[in-house]
A = this chain, B = another copy of it.
Amino acid sequence: MTELNKTDLSGIKYDADGLVPVIAQDHKDGTILMMAYMNAESLGLTLESGKAVYWSRSRKKLWRKGEESGNVQTVKALYKDCDGDTLVIKVDQIGGAACHTGHRSCFFSERDGNAWKVISTPVFNPAEVYKK
Q: Which of A48-56, A63-71, A101-109 contacts B (4 or more CB under 8 A)?
A: A101-109
B82 touching A100 by the CB < 8 A rule? Answer: yes
**How many of these chains are in the complex?**
2
Q: How far is the CA of A101 from the CA of B106 in the complex (A)?
A: 30
Q: How far is the CA of A83 from the CA of B101 in the complex (A)?
A: 10
Q: Which among B77, B112, B116 is the interface contact of A111 at CB below 8 angstroms?
A: B77
Q: How far is the CA of A78 from the CA of B81 in the complex (A)?
A: 22
Q: Which among B7, B107, B108, B115 is the interface contact of A114 at CB below 8 angstroms?
A: B7
Other A-B contacts than A77-B110, A79-B109, 7 sampled, CB-CB below 8 A, are A5-B113, A7-B114, A11-B116, A32-B88, A79-B108, A82-B101, A82-B103
